[in-house]
Structures are given as structure tokens and as C-alpha cells.
Amino acid sequence: MTAQLDLLSVIPRCVLPGCSNQVDVVGMPCAECLDLTTALGPLLRRVDGPAMTEEAIAERDAEVAEAYRQQQLVVADDREWKANQRCWLCEERRRCARTPQGWECSTCQEIR
């Protein structure tokens, strides 16, 4: 099983998030994503610049995965959240959750 996982990690995949189709060159979109009949095709723009590197793709995907994780935490949290509230701890205006102490942003909640 480990050999299979190692092989999968060296096969280049489509650069577009959420697509796992194989490609010939790292950092390039697959033919299916480029197809003008798909949902993304008309929205993509070809450029002459260099393709994304494996490191850049990994960094981007890690940020997206963290954003998804944060969204899941908010969805799982049944407290009332409201935008543009002043956090009772940092006093910044952010999207905050109502707590017994007052409105509290997610940044301050992670600190505690």
C-alpha cells in the first residue's frame, strides 16, 4: 500500500483545486478542465507565464484546506455568528460569535 501511495504522489495532477485528473506537466490544468463545454472552461484564461511549481501548489492547497477546516468549525458551531461586531478581547471589528462575555472573534477563540 505504501508503494501505491508513493506512486500517486509523483503522478502530476491537474493544478485546479478539486480536480485530481492526471496531467503530463506539473502545474498545468487537465484537458477536461480546459474544455469549453465544462463549467470551468469559459472561465479559464490561458497565460504565457510559467506553470505553478509543486511547492506553490502544495502551499495553495494547504491554505485552501485550512479555510475549509475553519468553515467546518463554524458550521459545527451552533452559536450565533454575526459580521462587523467588536470583539470583546481584541476590540477589532470582525465576524464574531456571541459568548457569555460578549462578541468574540475566531482568532481570539483560538488563543484561549
Mean pLDDT split into 10-residue runs, the chain, 112 residues: 53 87 90 79 80 90 85 69 92 91 90 72
Q: Which sequence spans correspond to the domains of the chain? A: 1-76, 79-112
* Nearest-angstrom CA–CA distance, 48 and 59: 22
Cell of 4: 501505491
pTM of the model: 0.48
Sheet holding 102-105, edge to edge: 81-86, 93-99, 102-105
pLDDT for 86 equals: 95
